Amino acid sequence: MRISEIMSQTVGELARAGVQNPVLDAELLLSHSLLSDRMRLHVGPDRELTEDEVRRMGRLVKRRLKFEPIAYILGKKEFYSLEFMVNRDVLIPRPETELVVDLVVYYAPAGARVADIGTGSGAIAVSVKHSRPDLEVYAVDISKRAVSVARRNAAAIVGKNKIKFLHGDLFKPLEGMRFRVIAANPPYIDRKHAGSLQKDLSHEPEAALFSDEGGGEVAERIVREAEDYLAPGGVLIMEIGDTMKDFVQETGGRIGFAVSVLNDYAGLPRVAVMKRGD
């Protein structure tokens, strides 16, 4: 079977199954199975595949037909122009979360101490440290397996022991510490909607996606507890769901934060910036 033939076959299978981007996914799967890049698929479409290559591609396609996310199949995901290892222990980094990194980099003074709450793959913490080596970065996650993944990503991208990773629930491992900037990407999808979302999400860790109280339970805890961990003039930067603008403004306002909400590139409310007074 030639490259062009297996591409055509795979695109058809994925499209019939309802996969959203069948052409792109087919290219990614085939280039991964051939240990090549996507450009080579178009340069040599008539190349005959070996039996082992065809079998390897078949196994990958079967996984995608079960709506396993491409990032998990490939074992990696690009974020902030960096390559992160991902598996089912961590949420797949999304492009909109890059805005959180931008804001941390902007708000953190030179040499400041910053924290990443719910670090998952380490995407935010590692990207911040990569952009701002001067910062003292702490990262926390309630999942030991997620912390392990984050440590591996940090070691590969910024070097070992450059970020302090801690296991625990939200701020508990940081007791007694103060930070100039706290970043958080909490679960904010209403748990009631778990069964009606796109099938790919069923493969990602529920604890990183869903929250009670309309999706706001964990976010509210972070806002309430952050005050005790922010230095005077410190900033909490938190990703939110697109229906949570009023919620975070009211919650943060009651505590005394000056709250602003930034939209993502789609024009939807995405990141809350909460400034503590001096």
Range(s) of the domain holding residue 266:
81-275
Say if 76 falls within a structural domain.
no
pLDDT at 142: 96
Please give the model's pTM, rounded to 2 decimal places.
0.92
pLDDT at 39: 77
Residues 153 and 116 in one domain: yes
The better pLDDT of the pair 39, 11 is held by 11
Residues 99 and 155 in one domain: yes
Residues 99 and 212 in one domain: yes
pLDDT in tens, 247-276: 999 999 999 999 999 999 889 999 999 998
Say if 178 falls within a structural domain.
yes
For residues 198 and 206, give the distance between their C-alpha atoms in angstroms, rounded to a whole number: 14
For residues 126 and 87, give the distance between their C-alpha atoms in angstroms, rounded to a whole number: 17
pLDDT at 45: 80
pLDDT in tens, 82-128: 999 999 999 999 999 999 999 999 999 999 999 999 999 999 999 99
Residues 140 and 55 in one domain: no
> What's the pLDDT band for 54 if we cut at 50, 70, 90?
very high
Non-local CB neighbours of 187 within 8 Å, separated by 6+ positions: 118, 207, 208, 209, 210, 211, 215, 218
Q: Could you tell me the sign of the dihedral formed by the alpha carbons of 77, 83, 84, 86, in that order?
A: positive
pLDDT in tens, 228-237: 999 999 999 9
Given a contact cutoff of 8 angstroms between Cβ atoms, the answer to whether 114 and 137 are in contact is yes
- How many domains, the chain? 2
Say if 255 falls within a structural domain.
yes
**Which of the listed residues 34, 66, 98 is the one where a domain comes to its end?**
66
48-62: average pLDDT: 94
Residues 11 and 103 in one domain: no
Say if 18 falls within a structural domain.
yes
**Which of the listed residues 66, 92, 115 is the one where a domain comes to its end?**
66
pLDDT in tens, 186-233: 988 888 777 667 888 888 888 898 888 777 899 999 999 999 999 999
Say if 75 falls within a structural domain.
no
Q: Tell me, what CATH number does 105's domain have?
A: 3.40.50.150
